Amino acid sequence: MDDDNEVTEDSASPARFAAVSPELHFLLSCVNPGGTERSAPVTVAPGLDWDTFLELVARHRLAPAVHASLGQIAKVPLPVRTAIKNACESNRILILQRLREIRELHEAFARRGVECAVLKGVLAGLEIYGDPSRRHAGDIDLLIRPQDFREADAALVELGFRPRTLSFPIKDSLLPWVLRQACDKEYIHPQSRTPVELHWRLIRNPHLLPLEPDEIFAQARLFKIAGTSLRILDPGHQLLFLCAHGAKHGWFRLFWLVDVAPLLASASVPGSANLFHAHGLDRILHQAVLLAQELLGMQFSPDLTRVAEQDQAARLLSRWALAEILGAERDLGVATLAERVRRHRYALALRRGFSYRAAHFRQAILAQEDWEEISIPAGWEWLYYGLRPVLWLRRRLRQV
């Protein structure tokens, strides 16, 4: 889609809360990201499907947020309370495991001279809420500099982690190309089942969030846990990353929005609107504000609210994101052609700029399997674009 001239007032009008199912409505009512006093007690709608409610809690990773509110809500069946409580207990155990594993990974990287920063996850919960148990533990995300990839990869393998992506040997001549086209490599530990994502860039498309690793590490902070100093992102970089990450995925897991809403509504990041504008991310900021108002009942400054409501592109983006939130669980592997086209249109609308859109198209037509199928000499990587249809057809014929 082109810039704002393709967004009409009708198509950009935000969807109303009435379109939300009773189960999701109750889930959203239980969540109180700002920690403010409720204007009215939360009530349970007649005929609410509790199995569906629990499925939504699991999908949106909101058991900790819901558990904090259930004590004040009547008419919630005991089995539902027990299921939420058990999920929170499991999350607490997982948090302790994650903290121990993060320290081990940090020490293993340090032995090889690799600096790393911890992204999202347990430390984000500790910073945003003051209590890591109030956030879903998730996987472990670590950021390194691109030039440290080999050493970091070797450290993970040495600790027993096995790659889930980029699992083929990458030749030295191909490595710079791979590091430009991808932004992370995923691992899993066969015994603990701990997933790790090793990032050398925050977002795959470098033009969506143009932050260089050297800039990130220069402004990173030290966060001390159990005697170990871990690097985390600067508050401004953290907010930019959390919003860009949520927007990139259409906010289809609501706990991402619950994380950023209080940060945007508070003064924890001074001049946040200017920060987003300086990085060309006004649409993403305005989309997050509109969704947080619509779904979480958050209140923002009058100026930010007015600008967000006047941003027609952001209004359209919030409508598309709401469709993802209300829709079925994402499975890109079985997405229809229409769904894939719609998601590409959504991604292209996240920000202006030819460079961003050109990079999106280049990355959209590449597949990691191609890099394993055939090795092209350094300087000739552009041939992958022409060979892509041939390599795709060959893989399909092998499956017949």
| pLDDT, position 13 | 35
| Element of type H or E holding 223 | strand 221-225
> Quick count: other Cβ atoms within 10 Å of Cβ 357?
19
| pLDDT, position 28 | 92
| 17 pLDDT more than 60 | no
Least Cα distance to 175 among 196, 156, 200, 155 occurs for 200
Paired sense of beta strands 195-199 and 140-143, if any: parallel
pLDDT band of residue 90 (cuts 50, 70, 90) is very high
Under DSSP, the state recorded for 203 is S
| pLDDT, position 11 | 35
Higher pLDDT, 264 or 356: 356
| 8 pLDDT more than 60 | no
pLDDT tens figures, 323-344: 999 887 766 566 788 888 999 9
Least Cα distance to 227 among 391, 117, 106, 79 occurs for 106
pLDDT band of residue 42 (cuts 50, 70, 90) is confident
Q: Tokens in use for 259?
A: 């994380």
| 1 pLDDT more than 50 | no
Do residues 193 and 217 make contact, with C-beta atoms less than 8 angstroms apart?
A: no
| pLDDT, position 331 | 66
The strand pairing partners of 90, in sequence order, are: none
| 227 pLDDT more than 90 | no
| Least confident residue range of 16-25, 189-198, 309-318, 350-359 | 16-25
pLDDT tens figures, 121-175: 899 888 888 888 999 998 999 999 999 999 999 999 999 999 999 998 888 888 9
- What pTM was estimated for this model as a whole? 0.89
Least Cα distance to 22 among 326, 324, 328 occurs for 326
pLDDT band of residue 71 (cuts 50, 70, 90) is confident
User: What is the share, in percent, of the chain residues with pLDDT greater than 90?
Assistant: 60
| Element of type H or E holding 62 | none
DSSP H helical ranges for 159-211: 175-181
Average pLDDT, the chain: 88
| 253 pLDDT more than 90 | yes
Q: Tokens in use for 145?
A: 């500099």
- The Cα 128–Cα 101 span in angstroms is 21
Average pLDDT of 110-131? 92
Angle between helices 254-265 and 121-129 (to 10 degrees): 40
Q: Tokens in use for 286?
A: 């305005």
| 2 pLDDT more than 90 | no
Do residues 93 and 107 make contact, with C-beta atoms less than 8 angstroms apart?
A: no
| pLDDT, position 226 | 75
Least Cα distance to 62 among 29, 38, 94 occurs for 29
Residue 37: partners with Cβ closer than 8 Å, 6 or more residues away: none
pLDDT tens figures, 267-277: 556 688 899 99
pLDDT band of residue 16 (cuts 50, 70, 90) is very low
| pLDDT, position 299 | 87
Q: What angle do CA 34, 36, 42 make, to 5 degrees?
A: 105
